Amino acid sequence: MKQTLPLPPEVVQQVAEYFSLLSEPMRLRLLHLLRDEEKCVQELVEATQTSQANVSKHLKVMWQAGILSRRSEGTCAYYRVEDQMIFELCNRVCDRLATRLEEQARNFRVLNSKR
């Protein structure tokens, strides 16, 4: 039987921090808005109907993690997705959730048909 090597604590911490980036609904909303093109902070504020401080806070976290890139033009900051792999990860999670929901729906239909 193959022995699994222990993961160094630093690696586990970095992986956990990366996944924690996606545990915030506002960050997922921002990523979705930035999926196809860069946008300025004001556009993101209007699209999310939240404060500039809130949007900027979440953008900064994702920028520091290397998921987003940022450029300035005049008084506007523009963000775009730098790490497109993030969408592959999100798509895999969504596909898995959809499969689970479909299985649950089938189970409910079976249960309902036995009445």
Q: Fill in the amino acid letter for 30.
A: L
Q: What is the pLDDT of residue 35?
A: 95
Per-residue pLDDT tens over the stretch 3-58: 788 889 999 999 899 889 999 999 999 999 999 999 999 999 999 999 999 999 99
Domains of the chain: 9-82 (1.10.10.10)
**Residue 42: predicted pLDDT:** 97
pLDDT at position 115 over 70:
no
pLDDT mean over 54-78:
96
CA distances from 10 to 1, 2, 5, 103 (A): 27, 24, 14, 37
Predicted confidence (pLDDT) at residue 101 exceeds the cutoff of 90: yes
The order of strands in the sheet holding 39-40 is 39-40, 76-81, 68-73
> Is the pLDDT reported for residue 62 higher than 70?
yes
Reported as type and span, the H/E element at residue 73 is: strand 68-73
